[in-house]
Amino acid sequence: MADGPLVAVLDYGSGNVHSAVKALAEAGADVRLTRDRGLVMDAAGLVVPGVGAFSAVMEQLNAIRGGELVGRRLAGGLPVLGICVGMQVMYERGIERGAEAEGLGEWPGEVTKLDAPVVPHMGWSTVEAAEGSRLFAGLEDERFYFVHSYAAQAWHIDPHPRIAPPAVTWAQHGSRFIAAVENGPLSATQFHPEKSGPAGIALLRNWIGTLPA
C-alpha cells in the first residue's frame, strides 16, 4: 500500500480501469477501486474513468448514483479527475450518431463528433498546455495518447473577475478540441494518462500533488 494520498477510482462498470489504478499507484497514490460511497467521499481524490459511448457511461454512472457523488465532492471543494469519457460526461450533453444524452452538467456545452478526415483519433498527439497549468507543469512539450471520436470543441464559461480562470488545454485532430481542463476541484483529460507512458505518470503525479494531505 502506497504512502501517498488516498485516491478512489470510481467502480461503476467502465472497462479498462485496472491500467488507471496501476498508473495512479505508480504516480504515488494509495489507490482503491471502489463504489463504496463513504470511501469515495473520504478519499483525497476521486478519479472517474470512462471508455465507450457517452450514453452508456451515463447509464452506468446513473445506476450507482455516481453523478450525485461527483456533485457532492465538487460542492465541498474535493478534487475529482475525469479521464476520456469520464471527462466528456462532465458536460451538459453528448451527441452521438444523432442521439442526445444528458451528461452530469458540471460544465456547459456539448460533446460532438470530431470534424476530421479520419476518426477515431487514435494515437499520440501534442497539446497546447494552458498557461499556468498545474497538470502540465514540466510537460508542456510532451505527447499524450488519445483514443476518441468525440470531444468538447468549445469552452463556454466566461472569466469571473474574482475567481481564477479555468486552465483549458487544447489539441487538434482535424478540428480543434479540448484536451484537458483544470477548473477548481474538477480536472479532466480527454487523453488517457495511464496509456501515455512516463509523461502520463508525471501528469498524474502532478494531479496527486494538488490533493489535500
Residue-range domains of the chain with CATH: 6-208 (3.40.50.880)
131 is catalytic: no
84 is catalytic: yes
Q: What is the pLDDT of residue 102?
A: 98
* Cis-peptide, bond into residue 120, ω within 30° of zero: yes
Annotated active-site residue in 84, 106, 142, 173: 84
Closest CA to 96 of 54, 56, 63: 54
CA dist 4 and 132 (Å) reads: 24
Confidence of residue 2 (pLDDT cuts 50, 70, 90): low
User: How does the average pLDDT of the chain come out, rounded?
Assistant: 95
* Whether the predicted pLDDT of 1 surpasses 60: no
Closest CA to 191 of 205, 203, 183: 203
Annotated active-site residue in 121, 148, 173, 192: 192
Quote the cell numbers at residue 41.
467521499
160 is catalytic: no
Q: What percent of the chain has pLDDT over 90?
A: 91
CA dist 58 and 62 (Å) reads: 6
Express each pLDDT in 67-120 by its tens digit.
Answer: 999 999 999 999 999 999 999 999 999 999 888 999 999 999 999 999 999 999
* Whether the predicted pLDDT of 65 surpasses 90: yes
